Amino acid sequence: DIQMTQSPSSLSASVGDRVTITCRASQSISSYLNWYQQKPGKAPKLLIYAASRLQSGVPSRFSGSGSGTDFTLTISSLQPEDFASYSCQQSYSTPITFGQGTRLEIK
C-alpha cells in the first residue's frame, strides 16, 4: 500500500497569510494526487486534482504542485472560510489512500 504522509498535522495562521501544506507518498505516484477541504459535518470538497489542476469553482488562491513523491497545497492569502481540514489522496493504485489530514486553525 502507498502511504501518504501530510505535514504539518495542524497549523495556526491568520487571515491574509500564505500557507503551504505538504504531502509525501511512500513511492512515486506521478501526478495522481488530489486535495480536499473538509469542514465539520459537511461533505469533503475537491480542490485540486492531478496534483496541480484547479477544480472548477475553486478560488484561484488555492494551488497545487509536485510530482513523484512530494506535493504541496498552497493557499496564497487565507480567507475566513478557508479554516478547515485538508487531506491529500493518491489515485495511482489500489488501495486508494489518503493522508491523515491537516487541520488549519485561526491564530
Partner 1 sequence: QVQLVESGGGLVKPGGSLRLSCAASGFTFSDYYMYWIRQAPGKGLEWVSYIHYSSTYTNYADSVKGRFTISRDNAKNSLYLQMNSLRAEDTAVYHCARGSTWIQLSEFDYWGQGTLVTVSS
Residues in contact with partner 1, shown as a per-residue x/- string from 22 to 61 under the rule CB under 8 A: ----------x-x-x----xxxxxx--xx----x------
Q: Is 11 in the site for partner 1 (CB under 8 A)?
A: no
Minimum Å gap between C-beta 11 and partner 1 is: 16
67 strand-pairing partners:
70
Q: Is 10 in the site for partner 1 (CB under 8 A)?
A: no
Half-sphere exposure of 51 (CA within 13 A, CB side): 15
Contacts of 5 (CB under 8 A, 6+ apart): 23, 24, 25, 26, 99, 100
- Pair 97, 87: CB distance under 8 Å: no
List residues binding partner 1 (CB under 8 A): 32, 34, 36, 41-46, 49-50, 55, 87, 89, 91-101
